[in-house]
Structure 1
Amino acid sequence: MLALQPFNAGAASAQDANPEPPTGPDPAQSEDDIDQIIVYGARLRGRIDSPQPPILELDEDDIAAYGAGSIAELIEALGPQVSSGRGRGGGFPVILVNGVRISNFRELRSYPPEAIERTEVFSEEVAQRFGYSADQRVVNIILKDNYSSQSVELEYGQPFDGGFSQQEVQGTYLRIDGPSRLNLNVEWDNSSLLTEGERGVIQADASIPDVATDPDPANFRSLVGDSSSVEATANWTTQLGETGNSISLNATYERNDSLRLQGLDTVELTDDTGESALRAFNVASPLAVDRQSNNYSAAASINAGVGDWQVTGTVDATITDSVNDTQLRLDTTSLVAAAAAGNLAIDADLGDFAEAGFDRSETNTYTVNALLTARGNPVYLPGGEMSVTAIAGYRANGIESTDTGNPGLITNLDRTRWQAGLNVGVPITSRDEDFGSALGDISLNFNAAVFEQSDFGTLFDWSAGVTWGVIEGLTLTATYINRDSSPSLSELGTAQIATPNVPVFDIANNETVLVTVITGGNPLLPAQSQSDWKFGINWQLPFIENSSLQIEYFDNHSDDVTQGFPVLTPAIEAAFPGRVERNAAGILTRLDERFVTFAEQDVERFQVGLNMSGQFAGGGETSGQSGPPGANSPSGRPSGPESGGPAARPGGGEGASEGRGEGGGRPGPEQMAQMREQFCTAEPDVVIARFDAALEAAANGEPAPLGPGGQPLAIPARMLERLTGEDGKIDPERFAALRERICSTDGAQMAGRPEGAGDGPPRGEGRPGGGDSQARGGNRGGGGGRGRGGRGFSPFGGGDGPPVGRWFANIQYTLELENTVLIAPNIPLLDLLDGDALSGGGQPRHSITWRSGAFYDGYGMLLFARYTGQSRINGSGLAGSTDLFFDDFATINIRTFVDLGQRDNLVAAIPFLKGSRIGFDIDNLFDSRQRVTDSSGATPLRYQPFLIDPRGRSFEIEFRKLF
């Protein structure tokens, strides 16, 4: 008999309880019906149910190894591991919390990483199950149930060559109490000015002869602008009633100010014959660009179980106003009259003759996003549960811009968009369900969405994919995506800004000149059509412990592509002749860099990623973690004084509670004797029943039951967790292995073993990139909580024994197979991998990123490296033109940190250092910059090393304290 059963979405929620088992068979059933086996169970807390396995899993100890100060810093440190290789989105991943979508990343970006229990990273296809498009990877952050901290972080950085500095101050408050969360964060950032004169940059205005008394224009041109910003955020989440539903509210204000210098305005005057010249500088007013912006954001989300569906509603609104003041060049009318009258001397101060003033552009934007998603598993098929996600959404945004350089012209654009979509995942075969198991796990995924947009009509988005779990640990995926995409309102309507004195390399004349550059929107941009294939392999390597290999191939085709104006090559100038102005001598004077449209673009890309991790030093075997954190803990939450939860655990007794706090992580001799009595003097079934009762009591928030003779159960909480199977009950095989060890080993000897050597069997194979430690709760390496075992404690296990270190490594290689662009019909195809270009740096065929780190006994070091292959840009081949050659180069960044809170002698001398961490980072360790040369081997002025990278080798020191 095959019974189709509706799926209870409530069981999948983060806070769900185990379903009640049936009391017995239905008398109405036939004897044949009674032969069926039905398994009941709850989903694991916060985990994502997906046919695609995680690309990367990190437990709290892995996260501590990154030394990040916030979740935003952690996402940044993960880099390419959380970025899509499809090349369609902005690169930032979809963020979920406890398996549920949130209104905006602002909700938790300032959370300290110590609040995370586990993190999962999934491929782009999983994003569709949560109402997103398949151009972003998914990061699921599982938070601890109980956590509280206040933190202050101070940062200071500057290049080794000096010239400017950066400062940051951040204060964060966070409290997590089950489903309720409160977070307050204030941050201030500042960066001082760095000029070209401080780096000795050669200037490009060689057409005007130098005069000894002239000021150096390099001192009035910014390499790094003077900027500052302040941000304040408040986030609040609470449960609604006793149903497990929740609501979240978020509000953020952000202010940004920046000032850039564009050099000095110069005036060249000639007499009637044109044979003599008068030259003057406005030394009092260097050209400058001053920008200010205010950003106001608010968001809300609600999560609720509605029947068999998990429903999430989100709304996010943002208002931004920005002002851009660009100093104008001098009005030369009065200067010409003065020169004709002979009243103007060479190098005169022009302040008495003209007031240049400013050109002001103002841009105001608003955006409102509302989305409703309903996720459920309405039908049980032979291959498993069919997943369905339905979405409905509304988006409104607008932009209004004015520019005094175009008086009377007001750009006012508004857009509304309604959307509806459906994602369906259909399991075909399943090893778990024993249906077609010889074929492995095969599932299909279908996604369709329609958008009704006020300014572009009806747009469509659909995709189809297949996932094949060939064997355990080896998964193949194939996905086809077809999508319509409209230009953003910023691309259509941003105010036009004319910025003077911008250095541009003119490849046609092999020279760097200062020109006026026009930026802004283009209202004539059409909608884009995208057609993409993606094939992927995810393999958990059986011959390297805790490792996984990802291989991906992307084939993207686009029609009517919106792009920023490309690098000015002869081919681009021929395609957009109206965007370029030259004087009578052919010298470039003005360049319109507003957005443009290309007819077609084709990209093929091959990407390989390898993740590895492991432990070193310390004692004995590790406790590999196969289940999720919520399943390993009877209550699904951490404990101990550091985590904000109660000290007492299901094991009961004073000794058992010390496994999570300041005390030892293992039982002492007295407790060990009690354990031997309870384990070895009763039948195994009796002991298992007692432990199951302790687990159930902990899950219901009740006191732990007593053991024989009215004594508390002597088993420590951590040991009890390790005996727990994925069904939330004691696993008989694990119990038998532990019982044999305890009953065959001297109690004192057992109590003295390093943790993990005698307190239970490993909990399954380690995850790729994830850790094996079972540490829960407390403030870990990022914040310097004391945790377990005093001076000997390491966040990666160890208790009172030797510290256990943790290491990880990730390498990602990208090979560009094809990148061609058709600007317009009847124009030759551009091959970006063979000398044509859309950007000022060429298109390298090869790139590699390396990220690795190690943490031991409170000391951490991370190494980030990036290699970029060589490329070139072809000139016209005519006299005066040149080719550009971009050498390959590599940069190495080092991050180090020390958990001062683990240095007992230091904390004893300076108690303030408890809970503190100090870090020291070096970016671009070898001061590497890409070398660019022309056909003669010389470096064009526009590509001087300090113009490519003004920072070079730089350092940053940070101090962070958790209270």
Structure 2
Amino acid sequence: MAHTAFARAEGDKGDVAAGGSPQGAVLPGVIASRDDPDEIVVTANRRGEAKVAAETEFGEEEIASRGADSIQDLLTRLAPFIDGGGEEPVILINGKPAGFDRSILSYPAEALDRLAVLKPDAGTLYGETAGRRVVNLVLKKNFAMLNADAAADYATAGGQYGGTLSVRRTAISGDTRWNAQARVGADSAFRKTARDLPRQGGVFDSVGFVSAPGGGEIDPALSLAAGRRVTAAAIPPGALTGTPGLDDFAATAGDLHPVDPNRFETLQSSRRNATFGLGVVRPLGDFSVALNLDASRSSSDGLRGLPMASVVLPAGHPWSPFADDVALTRPFAGARALRADNEATSLGASLTLTGNIRGWQTSLAARYAHSQTDNFLESGIDVARVQQLIDSRDPAFNPYGLWDEGLMIATRSRTKGENLSARFNARKTVIDLPAGPLTWNLTANTGRNRTQRRESDAAGNLIASNSVTRSQSSGLMSLSVPISRDDATEPGWLGDLTVDLSASAQAMTNSRVQKGFGGNVSWSPWPALQLQGGIEYADAAPSFDQLDAPIVTTINRIFDYARQEIAEPAWITGGNPDLKRGRRQSLTLTATVRPLGNQILTVNLGYRQSVAKGGLAVFPELTPAIEAAFPERVTRDAAGRLVAVDARAINLARDTNADLSTSVALRMALGAGERRGETAGDPLQLNLSLNHGMRLKSELLTRPGVPVIDQLRAGGQSRHSLSFQVSIGRRGIGGNLSGSWSSPGRLRGGDGVFVFKPPLKLNLSAFIEPDRTFAITGKKGLMSGLKLSVDINDLLNGYRRVTREDGTVPAGYSRNEIEPLGRVVRLTVRKKF
């Protein structure tokens, strides 16, 4: 009897990619079914498939239910399902490395056909370290959209508001696509007067006045002219242009013009920004070429308080009508506040070329970037210089009049930077092993960075200047070796087992070659279980930014444990050319369980241990232990008040950490068909993620010879952290609730122990598209293509409570001093044309 053979086309394989893969993905072709030898199964590559199987996939319905406006926004919302550690993933576009093409992130989320999170071992195949997550963005074959967005945000407690406007055009036609976006935004200044905050100590007067140096009567003759005893007299209006007499001061006797100093300080600077981006991708023979241009400009203006000066005007001075010395207390120029201004401009261009050369899948990317940063910071009046001018009795210097800007203590710095970088990646199947292809991957990076910096004072006099040029080159070689493979044609005796090995080298100007190696094992004995372990050892060298990033000085509001008070020191960030290289080693073990055998429920367990010696780190919180370890980074005045902190990156003698992580992810399509993708209408998408982190060890040795800092016992760190996200929605309407919480931490500082109690932070977002939700039909009108969104940050308006061990709240830790901004609401209107 003859058997009838039939063909079954497989288009959606869920966890198994359709492309050739060393991880056990089904190879395209025609094969006999293992269940029925007369049944023929035809497999084919899906468009845009990567070379590694997908661990998790999000289809159009799930993407639409998230309500994201851009791919960047979508990646942020899907972060708990991509990488619980929060590290930015490697981006593929239609299965090919994105290189320096960042314009893809500004594409509308609607341009995606699907988003695939590849298995953890995909990193080495694409020239990255083992374990780094890789996301494949598969775009629709044909797509076009023109949309405009307008958003406004405001603090519900008042005092701060802002908004953005943007317009974007995107078009995709097969392998050709382009995207252009322009965006402008602004935020108002957030002043201290918007909240009930303690006033700064001292005398603040908007006009200025004279008084006796030790208090009491200024001059008997002045009291006689005024008809009463005078202890203070405002600067007469005529003193701005001419020498005042006793009668002028008698007319202002007793007149003072006190002001609230909080009017002249901002908790958050006013900000403005504008960006433009253009990206074009098209085929070029057997290759694909991507060209991207981008430009941005941002600025901020902050206020640091009302500058006041107190000097002595000696008797007999040309500008003094008094018989004795008097104290002159005055602002620099009326209500003119101290300024803290920053401007930054950047221009960039990148070119990426991908294609196949004699069996090698290659990607070549190059980028040029130019940046300029201007920083202006005023710290007060040069009282010593003013007193010197008064003591010289120069009749041309009017102590009551307008003062030259050169009498202000200020620094102005300008940093220009140029960066030229290139990246080449090539991978090829070396040999086909029984378990799959052995893949060899080579990656080379090179870059040249030039930085010029000039610093001057308020009068424009040069303080310092320097110019630094550095070059950096690195290479990474990795091998992906399949040991066993379990697929539909031939089950592996060990399941899926793959070993990835890597070796790297890096060289920088004036530095020895840094070496590194790593290994990663990925084993899936059953489809529902995947185990992974990795080790890494590498020399760590500072990056261009860590060495030569523009120096930026801002004002940072922190608690000074030494004086038990809130301080607002100058906070210096940027590159630190004195950084040295270090070494790091890490061990990572993870387990992923899918008890239902599909993507509905996923449980992840992980352990990570790392030790960095001489490693690079951001400057930690300024605790007494950190200040004792880095005294040269902290500047205090004669009274011990905190003036400035050099918060640039540092080298640590040793940093040891060990963490456990657990996460649960639930994804359901309510009302869907039996198989994913076979949905009844438009199903309701439910997504839930819950992540728990437990820090087992966190020890910091800042320098040899000093005590080790146990950050869990006395460094303020939390041992437990918890985050969750719940989203529910469908195409046209949906909502998302996310939250985070950390256990209390303890910090030994000053003369006691401080207990930190972080709040439960909740963020809520929701969106609706009226035309889809209410099935509005007919001609295109106002509601057509309209989307309304609301985002509420810090829904519960919580703040980190700080107490001493006895439960008392230390000075400087009131609600408004710790978290003055509070809850912020953002409303967005988006219109598609």
- Same fold by TM-score greater than 0.5: yes
Other-structure match for 1:397 = 449
| Shift in Å, 1:208 | 5.8
| Shift in Å, 1:857 | 6.7
Within 5 Å, which residues of 2 pair with 1:520-535? Answer: 520-535=574-589
**Is structure 2 residue 713 aligned with structure 1 residue 834?**
yes
| CA deviation profile, 1:684-737 (whole Å, cap 9, x unmatched) | xxxxxxxxxxxxxxxxxxxxxxxxxxxxxxxxxxxxxxxxxxxxxxxxxxxxxx
The answer to whether the 8 A contact 2:122-2:131 is kept is: no
**Is structure 2 residue 367 aligned with structure 1 residue 365?**
no
2:367 to 316, 323, 329: 316
CA distance in 2, matches of 1:46, 1:496: 43
| Shift in Å, 1:882 | 3.3
**Is structure 2 residue 478 aligned with structure 1 residue 426?**
no
1:806 to 682, 685, 700: 685
| Shift in Å, 1:432 | 2.2
Other-structure match for 1:299 = 350
Other-structure match for 2:721 = 847
CA distance in 2, matches of 1:120, 1:265: 57
| CA deviation profile, 1:170-201 (whole Å, cap 9, x unmatched) | 21111111111111111112111111111122
Count the aligned residue pairs: 739
CA distance in 2, matches of 1:175, 1:306: 29
| Shift in Å, 1:336 | 2.5
CA distance in 2, matches of 1:369, 1:861: 41
The answer to whether the 8 A contact 1:605-1:815 is kept is: yes
1:553 to 607, 618, 633: 607
Other-structure match for 1:50 = 52
Other-structure match for 1:219 = 263
TM-aligned CA distance change 1:910 to 1:384, over 3 Å: closer
1:73 match: secondary structure? helix
| Shift in Å, 1:471 | 0.5
The answer to whether the 8 A contact 1:225-1:261 is kept is: yes
| Shift in Å, 1:890 | 0.8
TM-aligned CA distance change 1:142 to 1:583, over 3 Å: closer
TM-aligned CA distance change 1:252 to 1:163, over 3 Å: same
The answer to whether the 8 A contact 1:492-1:524 is kept is: yes
1:121 match: secondary structure? strand
CA distance in 1, matches of 2:806, 2:307: 32
CA distance in 1, matches of 2:411, 2:83: 39
Within 5 Å, which residues of 2 pair with 1:162-181? Answer: 162-181=158-177
Bigger mean CA offset, 457-466 vs 350-359: 350-359
Other-structure match for 1:478 = 533
| Shift in Å, 1:114 | 0.9
**Is structure 2 residue 742 aligned with structure 1 residue 884?**
no
| Shift in Å, 1:914 | 1.4
- Report which of the two has the higher share of strand: 2
Other-structure match for 2:335 = 284
Other-structure match for 1:510 = 564
**Letter in structure 2 aligned against 1:196:** K
| Shift in Å, 1:522 | 2.9
The answer to whether the 8 A contact 2:65-2:732 is kept is: no
Where relative contact order (Cα < 8 A, 6+ residues apart) is larger, the structure is: 1
CA distance in 1, matches of 2:775, 2:545: 57
CA distance in 2, matches of 1:916, 1:361: 45
CA distance in 2, matches of 1:418, 1:84: 31
| Shift in Å, 1:502 | 5.1
| Shift in Å, 1:398 | 2.3
TM-aligned CA distance change 1:341 to 1:325, over 3 Å: closer
| CA deviation profile, 1:390-410 (whole Å, cap 9, x unmatched) | 222322222221211593532
**Letter in structure 2 aligned against 1:220:** F
1:383 to 435, 444, 451: 435
**Is structure 2 residue 163 aligned with structure 1 residue 109?**
no
CA distance in 2, matches of 1:462, 1:220: 55
- Report which of the two has the higher share of helix: 1
CA distance in 2, matches of 1:927, 1:392: 48
| Shift in Å, 1:63 | 0.7
TM-aligned CA distance change 1:110 to 1:513, over 3 Å: closer
| CA deviation profile, 1:850-909 (whole Å, cap 9, x unmatched) | 111111473211111111221121024xxxx33322113111111111111225575559
| Shift in Å, 1:498 | 5.7
Unaligned runs of 5+ in 1: 1-8, 23-34, 625-771, 775-796, 837-841
The answer to whether the 8 A contact 1:399-1:489 is kept is: no
CA distance in 2, matches of 1:232, 1:602: 42
The answer to whether the 8 A contact 1:429-1:435 is kept is: no
Other-structure match for 1:651 = none
The answer to whether the 8 A contact 2:386-2:407 is kept is: no
1:773 to 670, 674, 677: 677
Within 5 Å, which residues of 2 pair with 1:787-936? Answer: 797-799=679-681, 804-836=683-715, 842-856=716-730, 858-876=732-750, 881-903=751-773, 906=776, 908=778, 911-934=781-804
2:471 to 403, 406, 416: 416
1:206 to 194, 201, 206: 201
TM-aligned CA distance change 1:919 to 1:168, over 3 Å: same
RMSD: 3.3
TM-aligned CA distance change 1:278 to 1:940, over 3 Å: farther
**Letter in structure 1 aligned against 2:786:** S
CA distance in 2, matches of 1:124, 1:412: 42
Other-structure match for 2:492 = 437
Other-structure match for 2:501 = 446
Within 5 Å, which residues of 2 pair with 1:573-722? Answer: 573-616=627-670, 618=671, 622-624=673-675
1:237 match: secondary structure? strand
The normalised TM-score by structure 1 is 0.71
TM-aligned CA distance change 1:256 to 1:843, over 3 Å: same
TM-aligned CA distance change 1:349 to 1:560, over 3 Å: farther
CA distance in 2, matches of 1:487, 1:388: 28
TM-aligned CA distance change 1:863 to 1:154, over 3 Å: same
Q: How much identity, in percent, do the aligned residues show? A: 24
| Shift in Å, 1:108 | 0.7
| Shift in Å, 1:249 | 0.9
| Shift in Å, 1:481 | 0.9
The answer to whether the 8 A contact 1:361-1:495 is kept is: no
Other-structure match for 1:562 = 616
TM-aligned CA distance change 1:292 to 1:172, over 3 Å: same
CA distance in 2, matches of 1:545, 1:418: 41
1:249 to 291, 300, 317: 291
| Shift in Å, 1:260 | 1.4
Within 5 Å, which residues of 2 pair with 1:174-189? Answer: 174-189=170-185
CA distance in 2, matches of 1:276, 1:535: 74
**Letter in structure 2 aligned against 1:843:** Q
1:108 match: secondary structure? helix
| Shift in Å, 1:270 | 6.8
1:945 to 805, 815, 820: 815
1:455 to 502, 510, 516: 510
| Shift in Å, 1:384 | 1.6
CA distance in 2, matches of 1:254, 1:371: 24
| Shift in Å, 1:584 | 4.7
CA distance in 2, matches of 1:254, 1:914: 32
The normalised TM-score by structure 2 is 0.82
TM-aligned CA distance change 1:286 to 1:807, over 3 Å: same
**Letter in structure 2 aligned against 1:329:** G
The answer to whether the 8 A contact 1:508-1:882 is kept is: no
Bigger mean CA offset, 191-200 vs 384-393: 384-393
**Is structure 2 residue 83 aligned with structure 1 residue 79?**
no
The answer to whether the 8 A contact 1:188-1:229 is kept is: yes
2:66 match: secondary structure? coil
**Is structure 2 residue 539 aligned with structure 1 residue 487?**
no
2:749 match: secondary structure? coil
TM-aligned CA distance change 1:69 to 1:592, over 3 Å: closer
**Letter in structure 1 aligned against 2:73:** E
2:307 to 248, 265, 284: 265
**Letter in structure 1 aligned against 2:264:** F
| Shift in Å, 1:133 | 2.9
CA distance in 2, matches of 1:349, 1:910: 67
TM-aligned CA distance change 1:601 to 1:334, over 3 Å: closer
**Letter in structure 1 aligned against 2:141:** D
1:604 match: secondary structure? strand
CA distance in 2, matches of 1:162, 1:353: 37
